[in-house]
Structure 1
Amino acid sequence: MTKQKGFSNKEVAELLRNVATTYLLQSKAPINRFRIMAYENAASTAEHLTRELKDIWEEGKLREVPTIGESIAANLEELFKTGRSSYFEKILKRVPSSVFVLMKIPGMGPKKSYRLVKEFHLNNPNTAIADLKKIAKAGKIAVLENFGEKSQSDIIESIERYEAHKHRDDRMPLPYAHALAEKIIRYLLEHPRVKRVDALGSLRRKVATVGDIDLAAVVKEKYVKEVIEYFTRYSGKIAVDNAGRKKASIIVSPNIQVDLRLQKAASYGSMLQYFTGSKAHNINLREYALKKGLSLSEYGIRKLKDQNSKIKNIEKQKNIKTFSDEKTFYHYLGLQYIPPELREGTDEIIKASKNQIPKLLSIGDVKGDLHIHSSYDLKPSHDFGQNTYLEIVKKGFSLGYKYVGFTDHNPKITGLNSKEVVAVMKKRKDYIDKVFSTHPKRSCQYFIGLEVDILPDGLLALPEKAFAYVDFLIAAVHSSFGLNQKTMTKRVLRAMSYPKVKILGHPTGRLLGKREGYELNWAEIFSFAVQNDIALEINSWPQRLDLPDALVREGVRYGVKYAINSDAHRCRDMDGLYYGVSVARRGWLEKESVVNTWSYQKMKSWIAN
């Protein structure tokens, strides 16, 4: 492991998972079982943090991070201090590094990867994937015990899918980019000469993933140099990329570029509009303006005498009309104001010219969160939450919610028979009812739900007798993502047909930057949801933001209802519902289309129906 300047959460998570994999492959149960769980949990935490783990360590708060125990913290400290960890290196030497490379291929788990590395002596991690592809195409995998032609074909397909996506630029999920930008914005606003700071580009439009971070600030001309110098002194920077008269760029950990543009108040609205984009929106807007004899720039709007004339040093042109805010800018063009989330170059300008931009949903419209995991042990199939039911209700009340939904993962179906699962579910309901037997009516109410796995054949991983102990179910796919569209659609529709299924959870199964969503026949899904009064989830978890905004808008045309949920595993994660609202706004959603904007009584009636 070579020394590096910094380690991103993604790199730390990958490293911790590799350690867990090594323990798994060298397992001496039950000795290693707890170590495997510890490293997997720590990897998951690192992956989902909205701040860089290295930054938290620099603040001396590494041991305050949930699931980062003393042993792991000590090893991470050495890693962050020196760029290497002797313990991690010692452990990872037990398994060929090619194993970890093969595990990047979709569907390649630790044991399969290890078997193939050993069988074919794939000892060069730099060529392991290419070598395996050649071996598979030569038909050498099919003859191995427990593999066969189908498995060999799947490996080839998975490798090709991996190769098609591996060169994509790394982009941050929106919540991470937003958290980083907010930290820098707070720093800028501490300067007395900075009056206002806004995000620009894809971050301001709330795109699901963000590359560079672009910011704009209102600063008087005479203070521009002072503010640029202040920005380049930001303590979290790795380097200063450039610093001009009104613009500067810095690099922050883990190699993210942050650009700052300064503008005076009088023309700030024009610049905000111009650099918010998108490129397609600005092209369409420019064409719309030209038909009116107008030219647009970051400084304002100019009337054209000759539309073919070229404007030099446009900032100094005296006949440019400036705008301090965007609403006035759009109104001057004869358009209804277009919120940043809608500026994607679709039909928003046509809609705005006809005053048909809808009143978009806002976070203040939300009255509840129906997808929250607790710390209650019902022997779940997946991970626990970290807070009690009572703590969840209190957090909901602090957010102004009228209700919350307790939706732990269903009990595991391996190791428990149906009768035992039903008993677990009954015990859970009895426990919840007892805890809240004196729950005041004026406080935040609750619904007892469950997030249930959709099995590969479309059955739910829960005996129907257990349905009596929940108010509603969220059905969601957590395995077998590689089915073809027809099979996957049939699978999901079968699950949605179960009684008490009121929400289809994270409907595409995507993990941003990690896993593409599976394919469904969305016309069938949307139609079935409308006919059966089922809501599709907009999952706010940072790496999901699922359903994607384009599909949200498509569903609107069918009359689909949506539930915007946090999928929180800690109370503080419930704040992340804001990002689901951002997805909803990009999908042109109005309040009426979202079930958790309803009152408690209306929600209770819908769930009971």
Structure 2
Amino acid sequence: MNNKQVSEKLREVAIAYEILGENRFRINAYNQAADSIENLSTDIQQIWQRGDLQKIPGVGGSLAQHLDELFTKGSVKHFEEFTNKMPAGMYDLLIIRTIGPKTAFKLSKLLNEKPYNQRASIYERLETALNNKVIQDLEGFGEKRQQDIYDALKKYKSGTRKKKRILLSDADVISQRLSVYLKKDKNIQKIDYLGSFRRRKETVGDIDVSVASKNPAQTINYFIQYPDVVDVVDQGEKGATILINDGVQIDLRVIDLSRYGSMLQYFTGSKYHNIRLREYALEKDLSLSEWGIKDKKTGKTKKFSSEKDFYTFIKLEWIPPEIREDQGEIEAAFDKKLPKLVTSSDIKGDLHIHSDYDYPSSHDRGASNLEELLKKASDRGYEYIGLSDHNPKLSGHTDKQIIAITKERKTYIEHLLYDNKLLQKYPRVKKVYIMYEVDIRTNGALALPEQALDYLDGIIISLHSNFVLPSQEMTQRIVKALSFPKVRIFGHPTGRLINEREQIAADWHQVFEMCKKNQIALEINSSPKRLDLPDMLVQEALKSGCFFTIDTDSHQVNQMDHMPYGVSVARRGWAQKSDILNTQPFERFDKWFMRGGD
């Protein structure tokens, strides 16, 4: 079973626990474990084989034993004891908006009875019950609840449904467009985004936005008239939910300015950060909510307009949203030992840039010329960049020809930089490193003759093929490639494409040890579809003593502006400025990059 399948199994058990009235701490633990496993950067069965299951957040001793049984036998007796008590089709109903676990349980129990055609799908049986107005007679339902379910089923069948999780960069585009619209409402005093979007996760589900408004009713009415709306899902006194034309759901929360800070904290999450924070506060006889902090002894609730003041009141440093994942940040905030996370303004260069240089490239060439790239680098305040075009393609070329192509490219770039005085035109940029991004072949060899390295300052090595090798074989492949001369950076290490291609299976501990030994930087690739190395592996690599570069892998000049996405990944991985090599000024960076001994 892969990570996604295991996480889905745990969520099914958690839903069964909830319906059957099990302890809420147990339910939370299973949901946390499911989230952690789904977002693991390593195959969970590798973690199981190493005996490290209990290092996964939410996985305690009991659950670790159940997972051991799952991987050993293919099923878990304890899980089946609970999930087998759920009516057939119940889990399928949960995909319909407005239907939660307990509602799905009641409906599926009804729909599995004799009057309904059991050969029909659960959705067809539900439609029959709704048309016959049977649902409204169920305990706790009524006419309005039946109508809500009818509308939700109709939208599901018509395809008017929210998208699954979207790329962070796509969420940025949507939020920027929405912000322009909201700022035209003169009642709005403040706007912030919440949830996984504010925590800068690689993908986002719903987009949650909070506003402080002098007139909530007018603001909510203005919000639901947003031009991109295709459906107003819900509207109330404190907010509204809309579905926009690209299938994304946006939730608006409105509150007065005096309580804005507590709402911002509460709805930023993560869920598990907030659970741990509430436990911490309860030890001080305090109760936390979106409305403020209640003193349980006096019954009084203190309001907070500032999120920083909210944390300060409970004796904690303000915690950056990116690391609010219950990974020890609350304890670190109490001890005043939170890391000073890297920022975009710390970046001094970008080493992974593709140009439009005309040569027989092994992959897609860039679309921008050297001067365009230098100007952008200068505008961004960079002191150095790396031209890292793909290695020449091997097919149809001898080693001698590839060496000649590489030599000619070096001569051409140096002519532009020095004879045509491009570096003088952009004096902020002190050096352009002449590099290649070189393919790691299946056997671990590099797709470049070693003599060609004489015409390169350094290289990035990357995986561009054969992503599904067994873990041991893939690890050997990578370790061999890391031993070649002039390797400076291991590019987009896991090879993943978010929502398109899973990451490779490898023994990352062994890979990190090799990078550390050979002083090779792990890349945090800022391309929105990659964001690779993922944040959880960044944390693991930091513990191994590795260092990083954050690069954009730009194939067009404006993609150099994607740098903040890589910085967000580094921050979520708890990386500081000192962990990122391309935060160093040119002289220090050059000493590392141009070191001898290769």
- Same fold, judged at TM 0.5 (above): yes
In the alignment, what sits opposite 1:490? 476
1:467 alignment partner, one of 453, 463, 466: 453
Match of 1:138 in 2: none
Residues 94-493 of structure 1: pairs in structure 2 closer than 5 A: 170-220=164-214, 223-305=215-297, 319-437=300-418, 438=421, 439-440=423-424, 442-444=427-429, 445-493=431-479
- Matched-pair contact (CA < 8 Å) for 2:168–2:197: yes
The answer on 1:565 being equivalent to 2:565 is no
* Cα drift, residue 601 of structure 1: 1.4
Q: Matches of 2:184 and 2:566 in 1, distance apart?
A: 30
Alpha-carbon distance, 1:602 to partner? 1.4
| Aligned equivalents of 2:379, 2:288: Cα separation in 1 | 45
- Provide closer, same or farther for how the CA distance between residues 169 and 225 of structure 1 changes in structure 2, counting only shifts above 3 A: closer
| Distance in 1 separating the partners of 2:405 and 2:339 | 46
Quote the Cα distance in structure 2 between the aligned partners of 1:386 and 1:191. 40
Q: Does 1:549 align with 2:549?
A: no
Report the secondary structure of 1:274's partner residue.
helix
1:443 Cα deviation (Å)?
2.7
Moved more, 267-276 or 349-358: 349-358
Partner of 2:101: none
**CA drift at 1:528:** 1.2
Deviation of 1:544 after TM superposition, in Å, equals 0.5
Q: Give the structure 2 partner of residue 312 of structure 1.
A: none
Distance 1:267 1:607 in 2: 50
Q: 1:442 is matched by which residue type in structure 2?
A: P
Deviation at 1:295, TM superposition (A): 0.2
Q: TM-score scaled to structure 2, two decimals? A: 0.70
| Secondary structure of 1:380's aligned partner | coil
Counterpart amino acid of 2:192?
D
CA–CA separation in structure 2 for the residues paired with 1:289 and 1:580: 34
Q: Is the deviation greater in 180-189 or in 571-580?
A: 180-189
Q: How far is the alpha carbon of 1:378 from its aligned partner?
A: 2.2
| Distance in 1 (alpha carbons) for counterparts of 2:358 and 2:318 | 50
| Cα shift at 1:573 | 0.6
SS in 2 for 1:346: coil
Tell me the distance in 2 between the aligned counterparts of 1:600 and 1:560: 20
Deviation at 1:257, TM superposition (A): 0.3
Q: Distance in 1 between matches of 2:525 and 2:287?
A: 41
CA distance in structure 1 between the aligned counterparts of 2:548 and 2:527, rounded to whole angstroms: 16
Q: Which position in structure 2 is the counterpart of 1:55?
A: none
* Structure 1 outlier segments of 4+, above 3 Å: none
Q: Deviations over 1:251-290 (max 9, x none)?
A: 1132110111111111111000000001110000000000
Residues 381 and 428, structure 2, Cα contact 8 Å, conserved in 1 = no
The gaps in structure 2 that reach 5 residues or longer are: 1-161
| Cross-structure match for 1:520 | 506
What is the SS of the residue equivalent to 2:389?
Answer: coil
Counterpart of 2:292 in structure 1: which amino acid?
G
- CA separation in 1, counterparts of 2:487 and 2:525? 16
Deviations 1:280-314 (A, max 9, x none): 100000000000000000010000029xxxxxxxx
Matched to 1:590, the amino acid is Q
TM-score, normalization by structure 1: 0.69
Q: Alpha-carbon deviation of 1:179?
A: 1.9
Residues 194 and 217 in structure 1, CA contact (< 8 A), matched pair in contact too: yes
Provide the C-alpha distance between the structure 1 equivalents of 2:446 and 2:163, rounded to a whole number of angstroms: 37
Report the residue type matching 1:372 in the other structure: I
2:518 is matched with which residue: 532, 545, 554? 532
Task: State the SS of the aligned residue for 1:408.
Answer: strand
